[in-house]
Structure 1
Amino acid sequence: MSMVRYLILRTLIFVGCLAATWLLGMRDREEQLLAVVIAAVASLVISAFVLKPFRQQASAALAERVDRRVERRREHTTGVDEDAEDAEIQRPQRRSDDTGSDSDFR
């Protein structure tokens, strides 16, 4: 949720900067690309300072999700490995001379 909030705030800052360039007189077709570039640079600078706490919160939430996912994956694979080892230990050992052939296939 914090990532969505950060994205929305960043988009609003860009739209505000774009509206400011339009209000400053960059309305012609030839000036639209320049207005978008100016708005992008201005919103980058503004959001770097203004949205710092929101960015840190979103980053912490994302890191927490990654840590939980890694821990779940580690628990899942550890359990599978232990089950396979237990099954291998509990399986009776066969010798080739008991079965009458050297092959494991029947």
Structure 2
Amino acid sequence: MAMVRYLILRTLIFVGCLAATWLLGLRDREEQLLAVVIAAVASLIISAIVLKPFRQQASAAIAGRVDERIERKREAAGRSDEAAEDAEIDRPGGRAASGPGNASGDAPESDSDFR
């Protein structure tokens, strides 16, 4: 929501600057591009100064969502790793049967049939 508010405020500043250039007399067809460029530069400067707290809020909101997404991925990966380990242990001839605690003391067998 903070990003939407920042975007709307920034758009309003640009529209205000464009209206100001129109009121200053840049109305002709040949001067429209100049009016847009002047409005863009002016709105950039104004929004950099005036909208700083809104930009910081939007940035913090985005960073929070990214952190939450990363945490959810880590939790999901941890759960899938645990499920994979459980499935491997439950599998006949899995690591539990030929692991480091096996009776022969040999290295664990490879899961692959290619030798």
Separation in 2, partners of 1:87, 1:32: 68
Task: Quote the sequence identity (%).
Answer: 81
Which residue number in structure 1 is paired with residue 103 of structure 2? none
**Which structure: greater helix fraction?**
1
Which residue number in structure 2 is paired with residue 50 of structure 1? 50
1:77 matched to 2:87? The reply is no
TM-score, normalised with respect to structure 1 = 0.87
Separation in 1, partners of 2:7, 2:57: 12
AA in 2 matched with 1:58? A
Separation in 2, partners of 1:88, 1:73: 22
Q: Structure 2: 5+ residue runs without aligned partners?
A: 95-112
Q: Structure 1: 5+ residue runs without aligned partners?
A: 95-103
CA RMSD of superposed structures (Å): 1.2
Which residue number in structure 2 is paired with residue 11 of structure 1? 11
Task: Report how many residues are paired.
Answer: 95
Q: Deviations over 1:42-82 (max 9, x none)?
A: 00000000000000000000000000001001101110011
Question: Structure with the greater relative contact order (CA < 8 A, sep ≥ 6): 1 or 2?
Answer: 1
Separation in 1, partners of 2:87, 2:42: 63
1:65 matched to 2:68? The reply is no
TM-score, normalised with respect to structure 2 = 0.80
